[in-house]
Amino acid sequence: MLFIFEKESLHSFWMKNMRFPLDIIWIDKDKKIVDIYKFALPCKDICKTITPSLKAKFVLEVNAGFVEKNNLKIGERLDF
C-alpha cells in the first residue's frame, strides 16, 4: 500500500490488528528512500509506534521480506 501525504513529515506507523508482518519504506518528495523498517510485527493491544529518522512524503508498506529480496537500500531512488 502506498500512502501519499500532503507534505513531508515524520509519518509514524503502527501495526495494530494487522494479520501479517510488513516492511515499511519511507520515501521523500524526490522519491529517494530515507528510511526502512524491516519485518514490522502485528500487534493487538499495546503497539509500538514506528517513526522514521528523516521526513518523508510517501510511505510504502510491502510484505515482510520484500526489502531484502529486492535489495533496497536507504538513498536509492524509486520510480513510480
Q: How confident is the model at residue 56 (pLDDT cuts 50, 70, 90)?
A: very high
Cα–Cα distance measured from residue 52 to residue 74, given in angstroms and rounded to the nearest whole number: 12
- What is the reported pLDDT for 67? 98
List CB contacts of 10: < 8 A, sequence separation 6 or more.
Answer: 51, 52, 54, 55, 56
User: Quick one: pLDDT at residue 34?
Assistant: 98
Q: Compute the distance between CA of residue 32 and CA of residue 26 in angstroms, rounded to an integer.
A: 8
Note whether residue 17 is domain-resident. yes
- Could you tell me how far CA 42 lies from the centroid of its own chain? 14
Residue 73 lies in a domain: no
Query: At 24, is the pLDDT very low, low, confident or very high (cuts 50, 70, 90)?
Result: very high
In a domain, 41, yes or no: yes
Domain annotation covers residue 51: yes
Percent of the chain exceeding pLDDT 90 equals 85
Residue 57: inside a domain = yes
Residue 9 CA to residue 69 CA, distance in Å, equals: 28
**Cβ proximity of 67 and 74 under 8 Å:** no
Total domain count, the chain? 1
Model confidence at 50, in pLDDT bands (50, 70, 90)? Answer: very high
Boundaries of domain holding 48: 2-66
Q: pLDDT tier at 23 (50, 70, 90 boundaries)?
A: very high
Instruction: Look up residue 58 and give its three cell numbers.
Output: 510517501
